[in-house]
Structure 1
Amino acid sequence: MRILNICAYTWQAGGPPKIIFDHTEVVLRYGHQVDILSPISPGEKPYPLPEGARLILCQRTPVISRFFREFSGELYQFLKQHAHEYDLIHCHGLWHFGVLAPFMIDKSVAKVITIHGVLDRWVYAHNNWKKQLMDRLAQKAYLERADLVQINNVDEQADVLRYLGHAHPNIVIIPNGVKMSDFTTLPPKGSFRQKFGLPMDRKLVLFMSRLNAKKGLDLLLPGFRDYVRQHPDTVLALAGSDDGYEATARQFIAQHDLSDSIRMVGMLTGDDKKAALADADLFTLPSYSEGFSMAVLEAMAAGTPTLVSDRVGFGEVIRAHEAAGLLTSLTPEAVRDGLEKLLGNDQLRQQVSKNATALLKAKYDIDIVAKQLLDEYTKVVRKK
């Protein structure tokens, strides 16, 4: 098969590029061709590319793309000239030009849309007027026309039903996966603390995600403040690129005199990310909304116990599988209590880590989930 993924394939885009990278490695091993078509702006850095795949970069159109997300005349022209060369076009997300353009141009090539959590009630409520405008520009109609809609969990199934007003006829639940072999060997303990000047003798709580309002930082920061007042032997590392919340976080840290207890270390990649997970006593993401959090999957794969909300995309699975992580409600008090429970019980953290690893090996290894999606690709192309 000749497969085209359309996504903002940059470090700034968050989880989808990592998901595409891991899936593409598996798809290439099965002998298929994968291209990635990505809008990009000056200053953005493309995400790494699996060997054997091709990345086509298209400049976003200035000014227009600020209001019409990802708008790119170059992207439109590429699709107009080359869409017919592919067996399947896979669009990631909703309400941006890269999802609309393939449907505007072509009716013959099979099209897949992955929702990536953007129909969640919390997400949908933000910039709602823009989304309603794009719905009138045929976003709903194009979602209806998709030959396959991939969702990550049953919550997203309900989101699609609410959005369309009825069930989509071609919908499949396939979760995100993680390459477990990437976390078999981790950097030596202490290397992350040493590199970033974090104390060796204090417990380390790690938040690793974009610094965005939806990630629950308004819950974590006050929750950790209250916890560290009673347990000053703990430090919180905030690892992530700014996505609108860094200034607020810095203001909170300064206002509450927490510069010794909360450190901002920026976005982590590669060995730095693995070293952070190896050093952390606890990973936390009390997010309001996630499609299916890669950050939580990676923490679990590294054996780091997790304290997360049930909105990370597989909260119910975590709850059902013998405490593979601790779930917190969306209040600062609940976050504080979760920190108390896990950081105060070494045996519980060890058990949570063990349960999480077993869960991921059974259900979320990338070889398992990527093959599931590839099988669905094959069905869709045959039908088309």
Structure 2
Amino acid sequence: MKILRVIPSMDPSIGGPCQGIRNSIPELTKLGIENEVVCMDAQDADYLGMDSFPIKALGPSKGPWGYCEKLIPHLVSNFHLYNIVIIHGLWQYHSYAVNKAAAIYKKKFPNKATPIIYVMPHGMLDPWFQKAKERRIKAIRNYFFWKFFESDVVNNSDGVLFTCLEELRLARRPFRPYRPKKEINVGYGIIAPPAYTTDMDIAFRSACPTLGDDAYLLFLSRIDQKKGVDLLIKAYLLLKQKGISLPKLVIAGPGMETSYGDQLLVLASNTTDILFPGMLRGNAKWGAFYGCEAFILPSHQENFGIAVVEAMACEKPVLISNQINIWREIDAGKGGMIEPDNASGAASLIMRWVALSGAEKQIMGKNASNTFQELFTTEKAAKQMFQQILQPAKTTNKLS
């Protein structure tokens, strides 16, 4: 059986869907499932050619919609090679192109089976994107895109795939008509982190030299208003002003070169206890995870939260908002703390953490690791996808 993944970009700095693809394919390969990827990246992008699976780059794409003139002809010419096509993400040209190409293929080859087509929105149907004040213009754009393009993409597909039950429930709210043929929770997982080595700690401390040997809380994600970084900094500073003894705060990730990043630097300018090492990769990234007291993310919206699960896999408690869609699973497993996505919620996460004893913190870390092993490994997610969509697909007439 062969799956084609269609996604705007496989740039690893973007994270999210492309990282999910990279995490899942090796485990699906073990189950005998072949995977290929089509993206709209430039053919000479330096991050291509480094993966174990084929990636066909047809770009560069043009404009904010990501138009790529080669995509529809390529799909029509190659649909017959695949049993299943998965559209990763919405709101860009690639989703429209798959839907359009399927219509052309059926008309051009009426006697040939069309591959099963699924949409995996990766949280892009979350109501937050339509309600957030800073996204008013994009919300209006999405309304019209849904009316003219995306409603057909979703409702014409054979089903919509979700990473968790909360995402499935939330996707029903923002748009009409919303009539998917199937809603399927296929789960999600990450590759287990490499075992800790002292080189990891050395690499991280080198990337963050002013930290020294001090204890710290870790925020590691894209620097964006959606992530609630400003709330985190304000909460941290407020607690410091009250004389509460706190570990240092490391805020790592790409995006500090933006205007929002500049705002954060101004917010934190009166303290040396908040550190901004930028984006961390490889040993430096894993050193940051393994060395922190806890991971903190007061995000306004997170479909899954790969970094959250990476921290859990490193046996670190996670201090998160209730807008991260896997918060219920984490709460049930007692692997972290949950609060609302506002300033008082962020402050409560920090205060509750520092109030714990060393033994309580250690138990919470063990619980986080156990929850990862039970729910969020790539092996678990691959088996769930296999059971939900791949195994049933073998019995349909659409597969050769």
TM-score where L is the length of structure 2: 0.86
1:43 Cα deviation (Å)? 9.4
Q: For the residues of structure 2 that align with 1:165 and 1:307, how far apart are their CA atoms?
A: 36
Relative distance call for 1:301 and 1:256 in structure 2 (3 A) is closer
- What does 1:206-217 align with in structure 2 at a 5 Å threshold? 206-217=218-229
The 5 A counterparts of 1:164-243 are 164=176, 168-180=180-192, 182-187=193-198, 190-191=201-202, 192-229=204-241, 230-231=243-244, 234-242=247-255
What is the identity, as a one-letter code, of the residue corresponding to 2:171? V
User: What is the percent sequence identity of the aligned residues?
Assistant: 21
- Say whether residues 1:91 and 2:90 are aligned partners: no
- Aligned partner of 1:80 in structure 2 is 76
Does residue 102 of the first structure (1) align with residue 65 of the second (2)? no
In the TM superposition, what are the counterparts of 1:46-195 in structure 2 within 5 Å? 46=47, 49-51=50-52, 53-62=53-62, 65-66=63-64, 68=65, 70-106=66-102, 107=106, 108-125=114-131, 126=135, 127-162=138-173, 163-164=175-176, 168-180=180-192, 182-187=193-198, 190-191=201-202, 192-195=204-207
Give distance in 2, aligned partners of 1:37 and 1:46.
14
| Cα distance, 1:189 vs structure 2 | 7.1
Matched, 1:362 2:374: yes
Q: Deviation at 1:19?
A: 0.9
Q: Is the 8 A contact 2:155 2:179 kept in 1?
A: no
One-letter amino acid of the structure 2 residue matched with residue 136 of structure 1: K
Q: 2:302: which partner in 1?
A: 290
Q: Distance in 2 between matches of 1:153 and 1:314?
A: 7
Q: Secondary structure at the match of 2:380?
A: helix
- Find out whether 1:2 has 2:6 as its counterpart: no
Q: How many residues align?
A: 376
Tell me the equivalent position of 1:20. Answer: 21
The offset of 1:42, in angstroms, is 9.1
Relative to structure 1, the CA distance from residue 72 to residue 228 in structure 2 (aligned partners, 3 Å threshold; closer, same or farther) is: farther
Equivalent-residue separation in structure 2 for 1:117 and 1:45 (angstroms): 28
Describe the superposition over 1:249-283 as per-residue Cα deviations: whole angstroms up to 9, x where unpaired.
43343355345122221222222211110111121
Q: How many angstroms apart in 1 are the aligned matches of 2:47 and 2:70? A: 17
- Hey, what does 2:326 align to over in structure 1? 314
- Preserved CA contact (<8 Å) 1:343 1:349: no
- Secondary structure of 1:142's counterpart equals helix
**Corresponding letter in the other structure for 1:19:** G
CA apart distance, 1:177: 0.8
Q: Deviations over 1:35-87 (max 9, x none)?
A: 11111259965367542x1011121333xx22x2x221122332132222211
1:374 equivalent in structure 2: 386
Contact 1:111 1:147 in 2 (8 A): yes
Counterpart amino acid of residue 28 in structure 2: V
Deviation at residue 104 of structure 1 after TM alignment: 0.5
Q: Note the alpha carbon deviations across 1:330-384, whole angstroms, 9 max, x for none.
A: 2212212211221342223212111111111112211111121123123235333
Give the partner amino acid of 1:86.
Answer: Y
Q: Distance in 2 between matches of 1:103 and 1:272?
A: 41
The superposition leaves residues 228-247 of structure 1 with CA deviations (integer Å, 9 ceiling, x where unpaired) of 3334653222211118x843
Q: State the TM-score, normalized to the length of structure 1.
A: 0.90
For the pair 1:253 / 2:265, whether they are aligned, the reply is: yes
3-state SS of paired residue (1:198): helix
Aligned to 2:111: none
| Whole-angstrom CA distance in 2 between matches of 1:257 and 1:232 | 19
Letter in 2 for 1:268: L
SS of equivalent to 2:143: helix
2:359 to 341, 344, 347: 347
8 Å contact kept, 1:224–1:336: yes
Give 1:201 shift.
4.1
Q: Residue 328 and residue 42 in structure 1: after superposition, are their counterparts in 2 closer, same or farther (change >3 A)?
A: farther
Structure 2: tracts of 5 or more residues without a match: 107-113
1:263 aligns with 2:275: yes
**Rounded Cα–Cα distance in structure 2 between residues aligned with 1:267 and 1:189:** 15
| Alignment partner, residue 32 of structure 2 | 31
Seen in structure 2, the aligned counterparts of structure 1 residues 308 and 48 have a Cα distance that, compared at 3 Å, is: farther
Call closer, same or farther: CA 1:153–1:233 in 2, change over 3 Å.
closer
Unpaired runs of at least 5, structure 1: none
| Cα 1:83–1:207 shift into 2, 3 Å | same
Which residue identity does 2:32 align to in structure 1? Answer: G
Q: Contact 2:6–2:88 (CA<8 Å) still a contact in 1? A: yes
1: CA distance, partners of 2:99 / 2:395:
19
Q: How far did 1:6 drift?
A: 1.2
Contact 2:116–2:158 under 8 Å retained in 1: yes
Q: 2: distance between equivalents of 1:47 and 1:144?
A: 32
